């Protein structure tokens, strides 16, 4: 399970980051990435923020391809389990998807 910040970091730092290495390992099927529609929607929104777009320079079409790629390589859980555990309510969707997908690990950036 990669949280949204980790995925954003992997996309922005496409050639030289630990986040990118972890993401590449998921693409290479070293482990199964767990995600949900809610997480992908958040990722899409973050990647389209002007201040974030300055870092990655991807077009809207390229971003859609990246989101589609993540969807295709992941175990997509529907996001039906709802929890209220962490201080930041936006992070509850990460915990929910991890529980629903029975993820062994959650990788997050502070």
Local structure of residue 89 (DSSP, 8 states) = G
Please report where in the chains the tokens 């992997």 appear, as a residue: 10
With beta carbons less than 8 A apart as the criterion, state whether 20 and 109 touch: no
Q: What pLDDT does 110 receive?
A: 62
Q: What pLDDT does 104 receive?
A: 96
Q: What pLDDT does 62 receive?
A: 97
Spell out the per-residue pLDDT of the chain, length 110, in tens: 999 999 999 999 877 789 999 999 999 999 999 999 999 999 999 999 999 999 998 999 999 999 999 999 999 999 888 888 767 788 899 999 999 999 999 999 76
With beta carbons less than 8 A apart as the criterion, state whether 40 and 104 touch: no
């Amino acid at each position: 399970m990669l949280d949204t910040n980790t995925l954003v970091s992997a996309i922005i730092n496409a050639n030289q980051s630990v986040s990118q290495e972890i993401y590449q390992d998921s693409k290479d099927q070293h482990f199964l990435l767990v995600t949900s529609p809610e997480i992908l929607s958040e990722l899409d929104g973050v990647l389209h923020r002007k201040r974030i777009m300055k870092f990655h320079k991807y077009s809207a079409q390229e971003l859609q391809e990246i989101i589609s790629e993540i969807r295709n390589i992941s175990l997509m859980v529907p996001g039906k389990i709802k929890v209220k555990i962490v201080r930041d309510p936006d992070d509850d969707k990460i915990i929910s998807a991890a529980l629903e997908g029975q993820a062994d690990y959650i990788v997050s950036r502070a």
